[in-house]
Structure 1
Amino acid sequence: MGDRRRRDWRGEYNDLSAKLEKHIERLPDYAQRAQEKLQRYFPPDEQSGGKPAQRPPMPARPPIPRRPAMPPVQRLAGMSLSSMAEQVPVVADAKAKWDRWNQPAAKLERRKRRASRAMTLWILLTILCGIYMVAAGTGVLNAAGTAQLPQAIAALAGVVVFGTFGARSGMRLRSLNRVELPAAPAGPPPLPPAGSMARQPMERLAESEASLAELLRQLSTPSAAGVAAVPDISVADARNTADEAAKALRGLADRIQALERGRDAAPAREKSALEAAVRKMREQLDDGLDGYGALLAAAGRAVAASGDGGLGASKDALTDATDRLAGLALALRELSS
C-alpha cells in the first residue's frame, strides 16, 4: 500500500514538473502575443504622422533545456549546514552546541568525569565486600556465631577484583589529569545573527582583515635584493593597530547586539529610543570600518608602488593611515567599554 502511494505521488510530481517546464518553454510566445496586443492600444506617435509607434520585435529566446526533475529530498540534501545555520537561528544554536561538545577540552573533561565515577563505584564495592568478608569471617552473620569460610572467601575475591578495577580507574584519572591539550588554532570569531544590524559590518570586517593580512605579508617579504619593501617596524605597527581596531569594532558590535536584545524585550513605548541608540552605534561602527578600509587602501597602494620604485609617498600614507586608525580604535574602545 505504501509503495503504491509513493509511486502515485512520484507520478503526479513528474506530471506537474513536465507541465511547468512546457509552459516555461512557451514563455517567448506568450511575450510576443502580449507585445502585439500592446501595440494595438498604444497611442499614435504625432511625429510619425499619426501612425502607431513601431517597436522592434522582441527577440525570440532560445528554448530552455529540460532538466531532470530533482526530488525534494535531494534538494534538501544538497543544502549545506552552514547555509541553513545562517538563516535558521535554531540550527545555528544546535551547530554551536555540537561544536562545543566536540572540542578537545570538553572531551577530556567528560573522560575525567567518567573515570572519577568509575573509581568511586569500584571503591564503594570494595568497601562493601571488605565489610562482608569481615562479618562472614567473624561469624556476625551466623546466629551460632561460627565463621562461614566460603562466604568469606567469596567476599575476599570481590575485594581483590573490585580493588583492582578501582586502582586502574585511579591510574587512568591520574593520567588524564596530566594531559596537556595543544593550543587550539584561533579561528574566526562568530558572526552576529542574520537579523542583526551588526551582521553586515562584521562580514565586511572579516573580509578586510583577510585582505590586510595578505597585503602586510607581501610588504614584509624581502625582495630579491634581501630588503623588505616597508620596514618591519612599520608593518608590525600597522598589524597591531589593525588588531586593536578590529577588537574595538567587535566590542561595539557586541553592544549593538545587546541593545537589540533589550529592544526586542522592551515595552512598545521604549523601543523607539533603543532603536535610535542602535542606529547611532551602527553609524559609529560604519565610521570605524571606513577607517579600517583607509589602512587597507594605504597598504594596497604600498604594495602596488613597491614594484615601481615610488614607495616613499606610499610609506608615508601607510604611516598616516595607521596613526588615524590608532586614534579611531582608542575612541571605539571608550565607546565599547
Structure 2
Amino acid sequence: MAGGNGRRDFNEFNAKLEKHIEKLPEYAQKAQEKLQRYFPPAAGEAGGGKPAAQQRPAYQRPPAMRRPTVPTTFSQVAGQVPAVAEVRAKWQRWNEPAARHQRRINRTSRALTLWLLITILLGVLTVLSGTGLLGNGQPEVFQTVLSGFGTIVFGTFSVRTGLKLRELKKHQLPAAATAPAPPLPPAGSAAREPMERLAESEASLGELLRQLSVPTSLGTTAVPEISVADARTTALEAAAALRGLASRIQAIERGRNSAPARERAALDAAIAKMREQLDDGIEAYGSLVAAAGRAVAASSDGMGTSKQSLTDATDHLAGLALALRELS
C-alpha cells in the first residue's frame, strides 16, 4: 500500500516536470521580450534578419562617475576650508621669532612696571615709618628696617629688569622663519596663475620689509617699526584671505566637472567673477610691494614720503582683506 502511494507520487512529479520542460522555450521567449523593453536592440541589429526573440539586446554601460577627491592631510584641508587656513595663518604668525621676541619685550615691560610700583610703595612706607608719621608718632624701628629691606630687594629687581628690557630693545628682531610654501592649485585651475603671482609678491615684500627694519647709520629706521609691523600683519591677513578665495574657486571647479552639461555655464560664470576678485586682490597686494620698494629707495631722503606711501598702501590692502573675509 505504502509502496503503491510512493510510486504514484513519483509518477505525478515526473509528469509535471516533463510538462515544465516542454514549456522552457516559451519561458525563454517571454524573458527575452521583457529584456528588450529595457535594453532595445542596436540600430545595426534591428535589420539583421534575425527574429526579435533571437536578437541580443544592446547593453550600454553607464558612464563612469568621477570619484570626488577627499582631503587626507591637514594641508589639503587647510587649502579647501577658508576658516582652517585663517587659523593656520594666525598660528604661524604667533610662532614667528619676531612675534615671540615682541612678546618677551612686553612681558619684561610689565614686570618692570610692577617692580617699580612695589619699590615706590615700600620706599614711602620706609620714610613714613622712620619719621614717625605712621602710627602713634614714634618711629617704628622693626617696620622701618623691614620696609627698607623690601625697598632694596624690589629696587634691585627693577634695575635688573630695566637692563634686560634695554638689551631686548637694542637686539635686532630675528627674521621671520621661512614657513613651507602653501601648495599651488592644479595647473588647469583658474586660480593657479594668481597664486603664483602672490607667492612671488610675498617673497619680494618679505625682503623689502626686512630692509626697512634694519637701522641706518644714525641708529634709526627709515620707516617706524610699528608701520612695518602693520604692513607685515596686513599682508599676512590679505594673503590668507586670497588663498581662501582661491580655495573656493577650486571647490567650484570640482563641482563643475561633476555637474551636468546644462548647469556648467552658471558655474563658469561664478568662477569668472571670483577670478576677477582674486585679480583685484593680487593687484592691491602688488601695490603694497611697490610702496615698500619706494620706501626702501627713499630711505636716504627722509621718512616722511616713504612712511605715508607705505601707510596708504597698508590701509588699502587691509580694507580689501576685510572685504574678502566677509565674502567667505
Higher relative CO (Cα under 8 Å, sequence separation at least 6) belongs to: 2
- TM (norm. structure 1) is 0.45
The structure whose Rg is larger is: 2
